[in-house]
A and B are shown apart, each in its own frame.
Chain A
């Protein structure tokens, strides 16, 4: 599209010099002759997840002469595609092939094991690059802020996901799976993923890239019932239909709904839009099939309940007994059902359980004190991806954690377009910048380049093959670095 010709500043300008009518482009001549040719843009992307890779892909496609350096805190790339996507969703991870193609572009340099705010500061990056794009995601869990949250077996879903997917800092998570009942708070797709992993047969999981220690723990698991608790009703459920259908189809698992949650649901169906209508119909159909089957595990969605406190034996707060929930009612405009809010009442009930997994969203954190940050929303402050001159944000770091890969991709492309536009206006690339060569001077840690990641990748795949899995992830940072340096 048009942008490409505008943005390829140096080349096109030279063409202009010789073939453009002098009159119409006089100002351009003046600029070109009065100073040196603008240097090719040096762009730095912080965070090698989907947002960073999609932005890089777009920038590399649209600018001919560019250097894109992608900094990543971990020695391994792909962010949530590696560490978030459930192990039993290998197809979703196919996007890694596209990212790998991007990474193999000679104009892109992967720089792993580089932490913004620790190994390198934003100030240094700003000095070394014309453009800095932050895309390091959301990593802090929202807190429940209820009594009993400090129980050892109240573990955030993000950590559970990190544990089964092999995030180095979550690999030693101690999760007691010896009880029958688990309560997951929240009804998004992360909540469903966690429920499914707890309910799925271990023999199915064995063929995935789930970490071996997680597999071993799940094999010993005594979990029989997983509750999925939401504050609002079926019409506001946050999970998507694909994830719901998948759990409904789980072998050796029955889905048991609470019929009373669906009292008023049917009458709303005619006015719902297609996506919401289909998921609601699927739920209603499943409600009619409610049946406890002897010997099967149970998936139990619960609506209109908010967590109030977790109870148990006080000694070390280790032994959890139950979670107390309070009933909620919805408030707001019934014509905008999805915007209605849950208000807690004093009516309480409890569910016996020995493990509570809050899955109520994430917040980003400011990796560097110089990042303009909105602590309420947990995002980097930005106006349509732009933070300030030369500084941009995309992905969940700028929007908050929502949407599927399609949304992240769109956002990253849009952010890249904003950057392209700003480059084309010529204010960003006036002076030459040192790029990584300059950053390197102040570094004293091991940098993991793409070729080093390929070594890790190879070892992981080889180890996986021995076990009949696509890969056995290395989960220890030191080991990753050792393989990378081999």
Chain B
């Protein structure tokens, strides 16, 4: 889930499901303004209650890096610290962004997603 230039001008919906999604859905949008020649991407996280959190990440960072580096206030994520062995990080992308992600899903990633709440076809 590295941030790439493909994401720079696109919108991403992410969802943190470290909470009961029925009550506390966290949706995260990323609206990245064009940043030519700068290797920084702006990501906007939108929580379930509508709260927006803007953060910057460098191209090549994972979105978990963005959350951690910016100390973003989400409840419960990254239990396994990005080693693909838990399912506390769950992102939901817009179809076009999902399709544009350069790293395709592995079986192992799908296996973890199968345990996540509120799984969608564009979940990562």
Which of B47, B81, B107, B111 has the most chain A CB within a 10 Å cutoff? Answer: B111
> Do residues B18 and A409 form an inter-chain contact, with CB atoms below 8 A?
yes
B1 is an interface residue with CB less than 8 A from chain A? no
B44 is an interface residue with CB less than 8 A from chain A? no
Chain B residue with Cβ nearest A411 = B20
A146 is an interface residue with CB less than 8 A from chain B? no
> Do residues A240 and B75 form an inter-chain contact, with CB atoms below 8 A?
no
Residues of A participating in the B interface, judged by any CB pair closer than 8 Å: 1, 54, 58, 61, 89, 91-92, 94-95, 97-98, 240-242, 245, 274-275, 278-279, 404-406, 409-410, 413-414
Interface residue count on the B side (C-beta < 8 Å): 29
> Do residues B79 and A98 form an inter-chain contact, with CB atoms below 8 A?
yes
Quote the shortest CB–CB distance from B111 to chain A (angstroms).
4
Which stretch in B30-38, B92-100, B112-120 binds the other chain?
B112-120
Chain B residue with Cβ nearest A416 = B75
Residues of B within 8 A of A278 (CB): 110-111, 114
17 A-B pairs (CB sep. < 8 Å): A91-B80, A91-B83, A91-B84, A92-B80, A95-B81, A97-B81, A240-B114, A242-B85, A242-B111, A275-B115, A404-B87, A405-B79, A405-B88, A406-B17, A409-B18, A410-B19, A413-B18
Chain A residue with Cβ nearest B78 = A98
Of B49, B86, B108, which contacts A405 at CB under 8 A? B86
> Do residues B20 and A58 form an inter-chain contact, with CB atoms below 8 A?
no
- Assembly CA distance A300 to B81 (angstroms): 33
Chain A residue with Cβ nearest B49 = A1
Given contacts A54-B76, A242-B108, contact A404 B119 (CB under 8 A): no
> Do residues A404 and B76 form an inter-chain contact, with CB atoms below 8 A?
no
Given contacts A1-B49, A95-B79, contact A240 B111 (CB under 8 A): yes
Residues of B participating in the A interface, judged by any CB pair closer than 8 Å: 17-20, 47, 49, 51, 75-76, 78-81, 83-88, 107-108, 110-112, 114-117, 119
Total cross-chain contacts (CB, 8 A): 79
- Assembly CA distance A409 to B17 (angstroms): 10
- Assembly CA distance A278 to B79 (angstroms): 24
Chain B residue with Cβ nearest A412 = B76
Residues of B within 8 A of A241 (CB): 111, 114
> Do residues B116 and A406 form an inter-chain contact, with CB atoms below 8 A?
yes
Of A98, A245, A279, A406, which contacts B108 at CB under 8 A? A245
Residues of B within 8 A of A97 (CB): 81
Given contacts A240-B115, A275-B114, A413-B75, contact A406 B88 (CB under 8 A): yes
Residues of A within 8 A of B79 (CB): 94-95, 98, 405-406, 409
- Assembly CA distance A58 to B80 (angstroms): 18
- Assembly CA distance A240 to B85 (angstroms): 12
Quote the shortest CB–CB distance from A220 to chain B (angstroms).
30
- Assembly CA distance A279 to B18 (angstroms): 24
- Assembly CA distance A410 to B116 (angstroms): 11
